[in-house]
């Protein structure tokens, strides 16, 4: 049989939401054959018409050790056993397509190193922003740019919760329960709401876009669980929305600032319009300037779209001795990552203070003592306990200075409570 007529054989590890989507989409590509699918439970009822049960196995090592399989597609998530499976597959000369953001963030370096040694491709478009094409554009269309900044919404669950809180004026706990009932949030939502998912994604995206290897253990992470309905209301009055932002900045000397945390985003910023489960990535660099991509960040078919795109990209190079340049790993220099304490930001600070004369002036004195200027001050009405809500937005300030000022505020008699501190996007 001529090489061009030969079917590409796929081994699929995982048949959950994404895996099922991959099976359905690949039916439109006669040149691709799914030879084997690894599952936990062969007898589980699946939403796939006419699924060939004979190709199912409960032993994923059957797939990575099968000499006939050309490409291993891994969509099970987690580090183990995914890492052991993929290293075995690479050692056996198989190309890899994965949607596993945690694996890439934690074990990307040894995986890519092994892939380069064995001259196999490791593609992972689906691991960053679901159906939004971002990795290939960076490696191809945007290859002539020096990307120096990323601002992104990379988690649909948290974006849905924050959007709903803002729209309905309700608490985080209320919306989380609703999101769980609708299937937008897991029974244990920790990975999403505490920012782990977004942190895994930005670590890998920053590594590619900034061309510096980012250590996930040094990525600052903060979730959305402390965001209140009042924060949403006050932010809106000040001209902002609150979003969970994954960001990365490149500075001189190979220094990078990579982090995930809630931010006040100006309503004039394009990311403020990204609502519900939608994801978005904004890249900034030279010569392109500022580019935004938005779309579905998860789900059966959007994620399958990216997985199948990677499968087809690899299939075009099969039979040659050299990978396409865009498939190769070029990020081999470790970034010097900046600690969050050494960053400079604007801040939103919500304070409950006693209703006594001179409180605003006292706040100004304390912030001024720590070299922090205030851009705006919002004071709300007096409650039955004779306290007032005061919200301030600072000018650009050093995080260490901010922490020192907050410590002093907590020890000031007229300050009842520091309700929340949220960084503000410039």
Q: What is the DSSP string of 368-422?
A: HHTT--EEEEEEEEE-TTSEEEEEEEE-SEEHHHHHHHHHHHHT-TTEEEEEEEE
Q: How far apart are CA 195 and CA 214, in angstroms?
A: 17
Q: Is residue 346 annotated as a catalytic residue, yes or no?
A: no
What is the SS3 assignment for 309? helix
The two three-digit tokens of residue 276, written as one number:
């519900």
70 exposure class (CB count in 10 Å sphere: 0-12, 13-18, 19+) = buried
State in Å, rounded, how far the first CA of the chain is from the last one.
60
Helix (H, G, I), strand (E, B) or coil at 2: coil
Q: Are 52 and 114 in contact (CB under 8 A)?
A: no
* Cβ atoms of residues 112 and 84 within 8 Å: no
392 and 370 Cβ atoms separated by less than 8 Å: no
Give every strand in the sheet of 8-13, ordered side by side: 56-57, 32-38, 8-13, 71-74, 95-98, 122-123
**Phi and psi (nearest 5°) for 161?**
-60, -50
Q: Cα–Cα distance between 162 and 179 in angstroms, integer?
A: 11
Q: From start to end of 159-236, where are the E strands? A: 220-221
Helix (H, G, I), strand (E, B) or coil at 258: strand
CA–centroid distance for 334 within its chain: 20
Residue 88 pairs in a beta bridge with none
Q: Which two tokens stand for residue 372?
A: 């922090």
What SS3 state is found at 247?
Answer: strand
d(CA 82, CA 88): 10
Nearest to 349 by CA among 291, 242, 421, 275: 421
Query: Three-state SS across 308-372?
Result: HHHHHHHHHHCCCCCCCHHHCCCCCCECEECCHHHCEEEEEEEEEEECCCCHHHHHHHHHHHCCC
Contact yes or no for 279/178 (Cβ under 8 A): no
Catalytic residue among 201, 241, 243, 346: 201
For residue 345, how many other CB atoms are within 10 A of its CB? Answer: 18
Where in the sequence numbering do the catalytic residues fall? Answer: 201
């Amino acid at each position: 049989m001529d090489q061009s007529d030969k079917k590409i054989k796929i081994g699929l590890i995982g048949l959950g939401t994404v895996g099922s989507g991959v099976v359905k989409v690949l039916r439109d590509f006669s040149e691709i054959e799914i030879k084997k699918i690894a599952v936990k439970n062969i007898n589980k009822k699946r939403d796939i018409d006419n699924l060939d049960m004979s190709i199912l196995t409960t032993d994923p090592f059957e797939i990575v050790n099968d000499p006939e399989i050309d490409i291993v597609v891994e969509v099970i998530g987690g580090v183990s056993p995914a890492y052991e499976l993929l290293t075995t597959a690479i050692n056996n000369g198989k190309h890899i397509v994965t949607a596993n953001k945690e694996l890439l963030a934690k074990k990307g370096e040894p995986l890519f190193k092994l892939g380069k040694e064995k001259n196999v491709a490791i593609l992972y478009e689906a691991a960053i922003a679901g159906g939004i094409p971002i990795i290939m554009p960076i490696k191809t269309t945007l290859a002539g740019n020096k990307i120096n900044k990323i601002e992104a919404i990379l988690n649909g669950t948290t974006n849905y919760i924050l959007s709903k809180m803002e729209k309905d004026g309700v608490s985080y706990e209320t919306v989380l329960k609703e999101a769980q009932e609708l299937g937008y949030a897991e029974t244990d939502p920790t990975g999403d709401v505490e920012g782990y998912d977004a942190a895994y994604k930005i670590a890998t995206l920053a590594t590619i876009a900034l061309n510096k290897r980012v250590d996930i253990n040094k990525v600052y992470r903060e979730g959305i669980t402390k965001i209140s309905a009042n924060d949403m209301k006050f932010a809106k009055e000040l001209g902002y929305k609150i979003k969970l932002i994954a960001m990365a900045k490149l500075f001189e000397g190979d220094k990078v600032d990579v982090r995930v945390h809630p931010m006040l985003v100006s309503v004039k910023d394009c990311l403020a319009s990204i609502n519900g489960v939608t994801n978005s990535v904004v890249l900034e660099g030279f010569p392109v300037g500022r580019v935004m991509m938005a779309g579905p960040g998860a789900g059966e078919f959007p994620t399958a779209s990216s997985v199948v795109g990677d499968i087809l990209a690899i299939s075009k190079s099969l039979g040659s001795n050299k990978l396409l340049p865009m498939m190769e790993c070029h990020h081999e220099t470790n970034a010097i990552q900046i600690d969050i304490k050494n960053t400079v930001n604007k801040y939103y600070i919500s304070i409950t203070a006693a209703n006594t004369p001179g409180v605003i002036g006292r706040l100004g004195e304390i912030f001024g003592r720590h070299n922090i200027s205030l851009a705006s001050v919002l004071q709300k009405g007096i409650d039955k306990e004779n306290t007032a809500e005061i919200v301030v937005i600072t000018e650009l300030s050093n995080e260490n200075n901010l922490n020192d000022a907050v410590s002093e505020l907590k020890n000031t008699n007229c300050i009842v409570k520091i309700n929340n501190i949220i960084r503000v996007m410039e």
